[in-house]
Homo-oligomer: A and B are copies of this chain.
Protein backbone atom coordinates (compact mmCIF):
# COMPACT_ATOMS: atom_id res chain seq x y z
CA UNK A 1 0.00 0.00 0.00
CA UNK A 2 1.29 3.41 -1.01
CA UNK A 3 2.55 5.64 1.74
CA UNK A 4 0.33 8.60 2.58
CA UNK A 5 3.24 11.02 2.49
CA UNK A 6 1.60 14.39 2.89
CA UNK A 7 2.60 16.21 6.05
CA UNK A 8 0.87 18.93 8.00
CA UNK A 9 3.40 21.42 6.67
CA UNK A 10 2.90 20.44 3.05
CA UNK A 11 -0.85 20.61 3.50
CA UNK A 12 -0.57 23.94 5.23
CA UNK A 13 1.38 25.30 2.27
CA UNK A 14 -1.31 24.12 -0.11
CA UNK A 15 -4.06 25.42 2.09
CA UNK A 16 -2.44 28.82 2.45
CA UNK A 17 -1.91 29.16 -1.27
CA UNK A 18 -5.52 28.32 -1.90
CA UNK A 19 -7.15 30.05 1.08
CA UNK A 20 -8.90 27.02 2.54
CA UNK A 21 -10.19 23.56 1.85
CA UNK A 22 -12.07 21.49 4.41
CA UNK A 23 -9.45 18.77 4.68
CA UNK A 24 -7.44 17.56 7.59
CA UNK A 25 -3.78 16.70 7.31
CA UNK A 26 -2.68 13.18 6.45
CA UNK A 27 -1.83 10.86 9.28
CA UNK A 28 1.71 10.03 8.13
CA UNK A 29 0.96 6.40 9.03
CA UNK A 30 0.49 3.37 6.84
CA UNK A 31 -2.57 1.45 7.98
CA UNK A 32 -3.41 -1.20 7.16
CA UNK A 33 -0.08 -2.50 5.92
CA UNK A 34 -0.04 -5.89 4.23
CA UNK A 35 3.18 -7.64 5.20
CA UNK A 36 5.12 -10.10 2.99
CA UNK A 37 3.71 -13.08 4.96
CA UNK A 38 0.15 -11.73 4.39
CA UNK A 39 -0.24 -10.71 7.99
CA UNK A 40 -1.67 -7.20 8.30
CA UNK A 41 -0.54 -4.38 10.59
CA UNK A 42 -2.92 -1.70 11.82
CA UNK A 43 -1.67 1.62 13.19
CA UNK A 44 -3.41 4.52 14.91
CA UNK A 45 -2.04 7.69 16.46
CA UNK A 46 -4.00 8.13 19.69
CA UNK A 47 -1.72 9.50 22.44
CA UNK A 48 -4.60 10.26 24.84
CA UNK A 49 -6.41 6.92 24.47
CA UNK A 50 -6.56 4.40 27.32
CA UNK A 51 -7.46 1.46 25.06
CA UNK A 52 -7.36 1.01 21.29
CA UNK A 53 -8.85 -2.10 19.69
CA UNK A 54 -9.61 -3.27 16.19
CA UNK A 55 -12.80 -5.15 15.35
CA UNK A 56 -12.94 -6.91 12.01
CA UNK A 57 -14.09 -9.96 10.13
CA UNK A 58 -10.56 -11.43 10.06
CA UNK A 59 -10.77 -12.06 13.82
CA UNK A 60 -12.63 -14.98 15.44
CA UNK A 61 -16.33 -14.23 15.80
CA UNK A 62 -17.57 -13.29 19.28
CA UNK A 63 -20.82 -14.91 20.38
CA UNK A 64 -22.75 -12.36 22.42
CA UNK A 65 -25.73 -13.86 24.26
CA UNK A 66 -28.82 -11.74 24.85
CA UNK A 67 -32.35 -12.30 26.14
CA UNK A 68 -35.42 -11.93 23.95
CA UNK A 69 -38.96 -13.11 24.71
CA UNK A 70 -37.60 -15.16 27.59
CA UNK A 71 -35.14 -17.00 25.37
CA UNK A 72 -31.36 -16.65 25.32
CA UNK A 73 -30.21 -15.94 21.79
CA UNK A 74 -26.77 -15.31 20.36
CA UNK A 75 -25.51 -12.39 18.28
CA UNK A 76 -22.37 -13.31 16.34
CA UNK A 77 -20.27 -10.14 16.25
CA UNK A 78 -16.91 -9.59 14.54
CA UNK A 79 -13.93 -10.31 16.80
CA UNK A 80 -11.88 -7.76 18.73
CA UNK A 81 -8.10 -7.48 19.25
CA UNK A 82 -6.07 -5.03 21.36
CA UNK A 83 -3.53 -2.66 19.83
CA UNK A 84 -0.38 -1.97 21.86
CA UNK A 85 0.84 1.57 22.48
CA UNK A 86 4.34 2.40 21.26
CA UNK A 87 6.50 5.52 21.03
CA UNK A 88 4.75 8.75 20.06
CA UNK A 89 1.30 7.49 20.99
CA UNK A 90 1.17 5.16 17.99
CA UNK A 91 -0.80 1.99 18.63
CA UNK A 92 -0.22 -1.14 16.54
CA UNK A 93 -1.61 -4.63 16.04
CA UNK A 94 -0.52 -7.30 13.58
CA UNK A 95 -2.80 -10.18 12.57
CA UNK A 96 -1.88 -13.75 11.79
CA UNK A 97 -1.19 -14.38 8.08
CA UNK A 98 -4.57 -14.09 6.34
CA UNK A 99 -6.01 -15.77 3.25
CA UNK A 100 -6.86 -13.63 0.22
CA UNK A 101 -10.11 -11.79 0.92
CA UNK A 102 -11.85 -8.45 1.17
CA UNK A 103 -11.85 -7.59 4.87
CA UNK A 104 -13.69 -4.93 6.85
CA UNK A 105 -12.78 -3.39 10.19
CA UNK A 106 -13.12 -0.43 12.53
CA UNK A 107 -11.09 0.82 15.46
CA UNK A 108 -12.53 1.04 18.97
CA UNK A 109 -10.88 3.94 20.81
CA UNK A 110 -11.77 3.76 24.50
CA UNK A 111 -14.66 1.60 23.37
CA UNK A 112 -15.98 4.07 20.77
CA UNK A 113 -16.08 2.99 17.12
CA UNK A 114 -13.78 5.10 14.93
CA UNK A 115 -12.71 4.85 11.31
CA UNK A 116 -9.05 4.37 10.39
CA UNK A 117 -7.96 7.86 9.30
CA UNK A 118 -5.04 6.38 7.33
CA UNK A 119 -7.31 4.28 5.10
CA UNK A 120 -9.57 6.07 2.64
CA UNK A 121 -11.33 2.85 1.62
CA UNK A 122 -14.73 2.44 3.23
CA UNK A 123 -17.86 0.47 2.44
CA UNK A 124 -21.40 1.19 3.55
CA UNK A 125 -23.57 -1.76 4.57
CA UNK A 126 -27.12 -0.42 4.99
CA UNK A 127 -26.34 2.37 7.52
CA UNK A 128 -22.96 1.23 8.82
CA UNK A 129 -19.63 2.38 7.40
CA UNK A 130 -16.48 0.31 7.91
CA UNK A 131 -12.98 0.50 6.53
CA UNK A 132 -12.05 -2.19 4.05
CA UNK A 133 -8.97 -3.64 2.41
CA UNK A 134 -8.35 -6.43 -0.06
CA UNK A 135 -5.59 -8.97 0.30
CA UNK A 136 -4.58 -11.14 -2.60
CA UNK A 137 -2.46 -13.97 -1.21
CA UNK A 138 -2.19 -15.69 -4.58
CA UNK A 139 -3.61 -15.31 -8.05
CA UNK A 140 -7.11 -16.66 -8.28
CA UNK A 141 -7.97 -16.58 -4.58
CA UNK A 142 -11.10 -14.78 -3.42
CA UNK A 143 -9.25 -11.52 -2.71
CA UNK A 144 -7.70 -11.64 -6.16
CA UNK A 145 -11.14 -11.66 -7.80
CA UNK A 146 -12.20 -8.58 -5.81
CA UNK A 147 -9.19 -6.52 -6.84
CA UNK A 148 -8.87 -4.46 -9.99
CA UNK A 149 -6.39 -6.01 -12.42
CA UNK A 150 -5.10 -4.78 -15.73
CA UNK A 151 -7.79 -6.55 -17.71
CA UNK A 152 -10.50 -5.01 -19.91
CA UNK A 153 -13.08 -3.30 -17.70
CA UNK A 154 -16.83 -3.12 -18.09
CA UNK A 155 -18.96 -0.01 -17.59
CA UNK A 156 -21.06 0.63 -14.47
CA UNK A 157 -24.07 2.89 -15.02
CA UNK A 158 -26.58 4.34 -12.60
CA UNK A 159 -29.77 4.57 -14.60
CA UNK A 160 -33.30 5.71 -13.81
CA UNK A 161 -36.34 3.91 -15.16
CA UNK A 162 -40.07 4.44 -14.89
CA UNK A 163 -42.03 1.83 -12.99
CA UNK A 164 -45.70 2.27 -13.88
CA UNK A 165 -46.53 -0.56 -11.47
CA UNK A 166 -44.98 1.28 -8.52
CA UNK A 167 -45.84 4.75 -9.89
CA UNK A 168 -42.25 5.86 -9.40
CA UNK A 169 -39.02 6.72 -11.06
CA UNK A 170 -36.50 4.23 -9.72
CA UNK A 171 -32.75 3.80 -9.99
CA UNK A 172 -30.79 0.72 -10.96
CA UNK A 173 -27.16 -0.12 -11.61
CA UNK A 174 -26.12 -1.79 -14.85
CA UNK A 175 -22.83 -3.55 -15.57
CA UNK A 176 -22.07 -3.92 -19.25
CA UNK A 177 -18.98 -6.03 -20.03
CA UNK A 178 -15.82 -4.71 -21.66
CA UNK A 179 -16.33 -4.30 -25.39
CA UNK A 180 -20.09 -3.80 -25.14
CA UNK A 181 -19.89 -0.25 -26.53
CA UNK A 182 -17.97 -1.38 -29.61
CA UNK A 183 -19.72 -4.68 -30.40
CA UNK A 184 -22.65 -3.02 -32.12
CA UNK A 185 -24.11 -6.22 -33.51
CA UNK A 186 -23.66 -8.36 -30.41
CA UNK A 187 -26.49 -9.17 -28.00
CA UNK A 188 -25.74 -10.20 -24.42
CA UNK A 189 -27.44 -12.42 -21.84
CA UNK A 190 -28.61 -10.74 -18.64
CA UNK A 191 -28.22 -11.57 -14.95
CA UNK A 192 -30.67 -9.73 -12.68
CA UNK A 193 -28.89 -9.52 -9.32
CA UNK A 194 -30.84 -8.58 -6.20
CA UNK A 195 -29.61 -7.24 -2.84
CA UNK A 196 -30.74 -8.00 0.71
CA UNK A 197 -32.88 -6.25 3.34
CA UNK A 198 -31.95 -2.62 3.87
CA UNK A 199 -29.69 -2.64 0.82
CA UNK A 200 -30.02 -0.78 -2.44
CA UNK A 201 -28.88 -0.70 -6.06
CA UNK A 202 -25.30 0.10 -4.98
CA UNK A 203 -24.91 -2.87 -2.62
CA UNK A 204 -23.78 -5.48 -5.15
CA UNK A 205 -21.20 -3.19 -6.72
CA UNK A 206 -19.85 -1.63 -3.49
CA UNK A 207 -19.96 -4.58 -1.08
CA UNK A 208 -20.30 -7.31 -3.67
CA UNK A 209 -17.47 -6.16 -6.00
CA UNK A 210 -19.60 -7.30 -8.94
CA UNK A 211 -17.70 -5.28 -11.54
CA UNK A 212 -14.34 -6.64 -10.41
CA UNK A 213 -15.56 -10.24 -10.18
CA UNK A 214 -17.14 -10.10 -13.64
CA UNK A 215 -14.21 -8.23 -15.23
CA UNK A 216 -11.77 -10.82 -13.89
CA UNK A 217 -13.88 -13.92 -14.67
CA UNK A 218 -14.63 -12.71 -18.20
CA UNK A 219 -10.98 -11.82 -18.84
CA UNK A 220 -9.98 -15.33 -17.77
CA UNK A 221 -12.62 -16.86 -20.03
CA UNK A 222 -14.34 -18.37 -16.99
CA UNK A 223 -17.59 -16.45 -17.40
CA UNK A 224 -19.48 -15.45 -20.52
CA UNK A 225 -19.68 -11.72 -21.22
CA UNK A 226 -23.04 -10.69 -19.73
CA UNK A 227 -25.03 -7.67 -18.64
CA UNK A 228 -25.69 -7.55 -14.89
CA UNK A 229 -28.69 -5.51 -13.75
CA UNK A 230 -28.89 -4.54 -10.07
CA UNK A 231 -32.26 -2.93 -9.28
CA UNK A 232 -33.35 -1.40 -6.00
CA UNK A 233 -35.27 -4.21 -4.31
CA UNK A 234 -36.97 -2.17 -1.61
CA UNK A 235 -40.21 -1.31 -3.32
CA UNK A 236 -40.89 1.91 -1.36
CA UNK A 237 -37.42 3.36 -1.98
CA UNK A 238 -36.57 5.00 -5.27
CA UNK A 239 -32.81 4.88 -4.92
CA UNK A 240 -29.82 4.56 -2.62
CA UNK A 241 -29.15 7.18 0.07
CA UNK A 242 -27.82 10.35 -1.56
CA UNK A 243 -29.38 9.54 -4.93
CA UNK A 244 -32.97 9.59 -3.68
CA UNK A 245 -35.41 12.37 -2.91
CA UNK A 246 -34.79 13.21 0.77
CA UNK A 247 -31.61 12.18 2.60
CA UNK A 248 -33.22 9.19 4.29
CA UNK A 249 -31.51 6.85 6.73
CA UNK A 250 -31.73 3.25 5.42
CA UNK A 251 -32.94 0.54 7.81
CA UNK A 252 -33.82 -3.13 7.93
CA UNK A 253 -37.48 -2.31 8.42
CA UNK A 254 -38.26 -3.34 4.86
CA UNK A 255 -38.90 -6.83 6.11
CA UNK A 256 -39.19 -9.92 4.00
CA UNK A 257 -42.94 -10.26 4.31
CA UNK A 258 -43.50 -6.67 3.14
CA UNK A 259 -41.21 -6.53 0.23
CA UNK A 260 -41.62 -9.51 -2.03
CA UNK A 261 -44.94 -9.05 -3.77
CA UNK A 262 -44.41 -5.47 -4.99
CA UNK A 263 -41.01 -6.36 -6.42
CA UNK A 264 -42.47 -9.45 -8.13
CA UNK A 265 -45.36 -7.45 -9.60
CA UNK A 266 -43.15 -4.62 -10.84
CA UNK A 267 -40.29 -6.75 -12.16
CA UNK A 268 -41.54 -6.65 -15.76
CA UNK A 269 -41.03 -2.85 -15.62
CA UNK A 270 -37.32 -3.47 -14.99
CA UNK A 271 -37.00 -6.09 -17.70
CA UNK A 272 -38.89 -4.03 -20.29
CA UNK A 273 -36.63 -1.06 -19.63
CA UNK A 274 -33.46 -3.14 -19.90
CA UNK A 275 -34.58 -4.99 -23.02
CA UNK A 276 -35.51 -1.68 -24.66
CA UNK A 277 -32.27 0.18 -23.84
CA UNK A 278 -29.58 -2.50 -23.99
CA UNK A 279 -28.59 -5.07 -26.57
CA UNK A 280 -30.15 -8.01 -24.75
CA UNK A 281 -30.15 -11.58 -25.96
CA UNK A 282 -33.65 -12.33 -24.75
CA UNK A 283 -35.29 -15.55 -23.74
CA UNK A 284 -35.16 -18.30 -21.16
CA UNK A 285 -31.63 -19.51 -21.89
CA UNK A 286 -30.24 -15.98 -21.77
CA UNK A 287 -31.93 -14.71 -18.63
CA UNK A 288 -30.81 -15.32 -15.04
CA UNK A 289 -31.99 -14.05 -11.69
CA UNK A 290 -30.09 -14.28 -8.42
CA UNK A 291 -30.07 -12.52 -5.09
CA UNK A 292 -28.86 -12.61 -1.53
CA UNK A 293 -31.00 -12.96 1.60
CA UNK A 294 -34.20 -10.98 0.88
CA UNK A 295 -33.03 -10.88 -2.75
CA UNK A 296 -32.64 -14.66 -2.72
CA UNK A 297 -36.22 -15.02 -1.58
CA UNK A 298 -37.27 -12.49 -4.22
CA UNK A 299 -35.37 -14.45 -6.88
CA UNK A 300 -37.11 -17.62 -5.81
CA UNK A 301 -40.52 -15.98 -5.91
CA UNK A 302 -39.74 -14.39 -9.30
CA UNK A 303 -38.87 -17.83 -10.65
CA UNK A 304 -42.23 -19.10 -9.39
CA UNK A 305 -44.24 -16.17 -10.72
CA UNK A 306 -42.55 -16.12 -14.13
CA UNK A 307 -41.56 -19.79 -14.63
CA UNK A 308 -40.87 -19.39 -18.35
CA UNK A 309 -38.53 -16.40 -17.89
CA UNK A 310 -35.41 -17.38 -15.96
CA UNK A 311 -33.37 -20.29 -17.26
CA UNK A 312 -30.84 -19.78 -14.46
CA UNK A 313 -31.77 -19.08 -10.83
CA UNK A 314 -29.40 -18.38 -7.92
CA UNK A 315 -30.58 -18.27 -4.32
CA UNK A 316 -27.85 -16.96 -2.01
CA UNK A 317 -28.79 -17.34 1.68
CA UNK A 318 -32.43 -16.80 0.88
CA UNK A 319 -35.21 -19.05 -0.46
CA UNK A 320 -38.97 -19.20 -0.75
CA UNK A 321 -40.97 -21.63 1.33
CA UNK A 322 -41.99 -24.99 -0.10
CA UNK A 323 -45.33 -24.94 1.71
CA UNK A 324 -48.03 -23.50 -0.47
CA UNK A 325 -45.71 -23.23 -3.46
CA UNK A 326 -45.49 -26.90 -4.43
CA UNK A 327 -47.37 -26.52 -7.70
CA UNK A 328 -45.49 -23.38 -8.62
CA UNK A 329 -42.15 -25.13 -8.08
CA UNK A 330 -43.35 -28.05 -10.21
CA UNK A 331 -44.15 -25.60 -12.99
CA UNK A 332 -40.67 -24.07 -12.70
CA UNK A 333 -39.04 -27.46 -13.20
CA UNK A 334 -41.43 -28.37 -16.01
CA UNK A 335 -39.56 -25.76 -18.06
CA UNK A 336 -36.29 -27.57 -17.37
CA UNK A 337 -34.15 -24.76 -15.97
CA UNK A 338 -30.49 -24.91 -16.91
CA UNK A 339 -29.54 -24.23 -13.30
CA UNK A 340 -31.40 -23.89 -10.03
CA UNK A 341 -28.57 -23.12 -7.62
CA UNK A 342 -28.62 -22.45 -3.89
CA UNK A 343 -25.69 -21.26 -1.78
CA UNK A 344 -25.86 -21.02 2.01
CA UNK A 345 -23.49 -20.94 4.97
CA UNK A 346 -23.51 -23.79 7.47
CA UNK A 347 -23.96 -21.30 10.33
CA UNK A 348 -26.66 -19.34 8.52
CA UNK A 349 -30.15 -19.42 10.03
CA UNK A 350 -31.52 -19.52 6.50
CA UNK A 351 -29.96 -22.98 6.05
CA UNK A 352 -33.03 -24.61 7.64
CA UNK A 353 -35.39 -23.47 4.89
CA UNK A 354 -32.72 -23.91 2.24
CA UNK A 355 -32.31 -27.57 3.18
CA UNK A 356 -36.08 -28.04 3.29
CA UNK A 357 -36.32 -26.79 -0.27
CA UNK A 358 -33.35 -28.89 -1.37
CA UNK A 359 -34.75 -32.07 0.21
CA UNK A 360 -38.20 -31.52 -1.22
CA UNK A 361 -36.76 -30.91 -4.71
CA UNK A 362 -34.59 -34.03 -4.39
CA UNK A 363 -37.66 -36.03 -3.38
CA UNK A 364 -39.53 -34.67 -6.39
CA UNK A 365 -36.61 -35.33 -8.70
CA UNK A 366 -36.25 -31.61 -9.45
CA UNK A 367 -32.59 -30.90 -10.20
CA UNK A 368 -31.29 -28.31 -7.73
CA UNK A 369 -27.76 -27.69 -6.54
CA UNK A 370 -26.91 -26.74 -2.95
CA UNK A 371 -23.49 -25.26 -2.27
CA UNK A 372 -22.78 -25.34 1.47
CA UNK A 373 -20.07 -22.96 2.59
CA UNK A 374 -18.57 -22.25 5.98
CA UNK A 375 -19.78 -19.23 7.93
CA UNK A 376 -23.04 -17.37 8.11
CA UNK A 377 -25.15 -14.64 6.63
CA UNK A 378 -22.32 -12.41 5.42
CA UNK A 379 -21.05 -10.61 2.32
CA UNK A 380 -17.93 -12.74 2.31
CA UNK A 381 -20.12 -15.69 1.33
CA UNK A 382 -22.24 -13.75 -1.16
CA UNK A 383 -19.19 -12.60 -3.12
CA UNK A 384 -18.03 -16.23 -3.31
CA UNK A 385 -21.47 -17.41 -4.41
CA UNK A 386 -21.53 -14.79 -7.17
CA UNK A 387 -18.05 -15.86 -8.30
CA UNK A 388 -19.17 -19.50 -8.53
CA UNK A 389 -22.63 -18.84 -9.96
CA UNK A 390 -21.45 -16.42 -12.67
CA UNK A 391 -19.17 -19.12 -14.10
CA UNK A 392 -22.13 -21.45 -14.59
CA UNK A 393 -24.30 -19.01 -16.53
CA UNK A 394 -25.34 -19.07 -20.18
CA UNK A 395 -23.11 -21.97 -21.15
CA UNK A 396 -25.76 -24.60 -21.82
CA UNK A 397 -27.53 -25.25 -25.06
CA UNK A 398 -31.27 -24.53 -24.81
CA UNK A 399 -33.47 -27.32 -23.48
CA UNK A 400 -37.04 -28.11 -24.38
CA UNK A 401 -39.66 -27.93 -21.67
CA UNK A 402 -40.60 -31.39 -20.42
CA UNK A 403 -43.56 -32.65 -18.44
CA UNK A 404 -42.93 -33.03 -14.72
CA UNK A 405 -45.04 -35.13 -12.42
CA UNK A 406 -45.14 -34.21 -8.76
CA UNK A 407 -44.93 -36.68 -5.89
CA UNK A 408 -46.71 -36.21 -2.57
CA UNK A 409 -44.85 -33.61 -0.63
CA UNK A 410 -41.90 -34.71 1.45
CA UNK A 411 -43.19 -32.10 3.89
CA UNK A 412 -46.36 -34.15 4.33
CA UNK A 413 -44.39 -37.30 5.04
CA UNK A 414 -42.40 -35.45 7.70
CA UNK A 415 -45.54 -34.53 9.63
Q: Which residues of A are in contact with B by a Cβ distance under 8 Å?
A: 1-6, 9-24, 26, 46, 48, 57, 61, 66, 68, 73-78, 104, 109-115, 117-122, 124-130, 133-134, 147-150, 152-160, 169, 171, 178, 181-182, 197, 239, 241-253, 277, 293, 317, 345, 347-350, 376-379
**In the complex, A175→B65 CA distance in Å?**
49
Assess the B114–A246 pair: CB atoms within 8 A: no
Chain B residues lying within 8 Å of A248, measured Cβ to Cβ, are: 1-2
CB pair A19 B117 closer than 8 Å: no
Tell me whether chain A's interface is mostly helix, strand or loop, or mixed: loop
The residues of B that contact A147 with a CB separation of less than 8 Å are 245, 247
Bound-complex Cα distance A158 to B77 (A): 35
Please, how many angstroms separate the alpha-carbon atoms of A4 and B126 in the complex? 11
Query: Closest CB of chain B to A346's CB: distance in Å?
Result: 9
Q: In the complex, how many angstroms separate the beta carbon of A21 from the nearest chain B beta carbon?
A: 5
- A113-B19 contact, Cβ under 8 Å, with A4-B127, A157-B158: no
- Can you list 24 contacts pairing A with B, beta carbon distance less than 8 Å? A1-B249, A5-B253, A12-B68, A12-B73, A14-B197, A15-B76, A16-B75, A18-B377, A19-B378, A21-B377, A22-B57, A22-B78, A23-B126, A23-B128, A114-B114, A119-B249, A120-B241, A120-B249, A121-B241, A134-B247, A153-B160, A155-B157, A155-B158, A156-B158
Per assembly, the copies of the chain total 2
Instruction: Report the Cα distance A6→B197, complex, angstroms.
Output: 13
Q: Which 9 A-B pairs have the closest CB atoms?
A: A19-B376, A20-B76, A18-B377, A153-B160, A157-B157, A4-B249, A19-B348, A19-B377, A20-B376
Task: Select A245's contact among B10, B150, B252, beta carbons within 8 Å.
Answer: B150
